[in-house]
């Protein structure tokens, strides 16, 4: 099954997506999917904002992941996400 990731998605990144997150999973908001970079089949480069427990961006990162291993929060109506699908995720300020 292919997972479509796009800008604005809120994802939980764990070891299922990449071994770099084996001990410390993160919650992140996708800024963009880097289609300009060559990758192995099934892998993607993503520019993301890492979010804290309050849903605030604390760091900008570029990560290399398997989208099939990401846990994506359901896309919400305009106004932002509600964190029911991803643990510890809360609505972010400014939508």
Q: What is the pLDDT of residues 46-89, one digit of tens each?
A: 999 999 988 899 999 999 999 999 999 876 555 555 544 444 44
| pTM of the predicted structure, to 2 decimals | 0.74
Residues linked to residue 87 through DSSP beta bridges, in sequence order: none
Task: Report residue 68 CA to chain centroid gap.
Answer: 12
User: Where do the domains of the chain lie?
Assistant: 10-72
Cα(87)–Cα(71) distance, integer angstroms:
10
- Whether the CB-CB separation of 55 and 92 falls below 8 Å is answered with yes
């Amino acid at each position: 099954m292919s997972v479509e990731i796009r800008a604005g998605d809120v994802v939980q990144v764990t070891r299922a997506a990449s071994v770099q997150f084996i001990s410390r999973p993160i919650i992140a908001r996708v800024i963009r999917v880097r289609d300009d970079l060559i990758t192995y089949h099934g892998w993607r480069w993503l520019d993301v904002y890492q979010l804290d427990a309050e849903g605030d961006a604390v760091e900008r990162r570029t990560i290399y992941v398997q989208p099939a291993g990401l846990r994506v929060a359901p896309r919400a109506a305009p106004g932002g996400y509600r964190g029911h699908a991803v643990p510890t995720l809360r609505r972010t300020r400014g939508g």
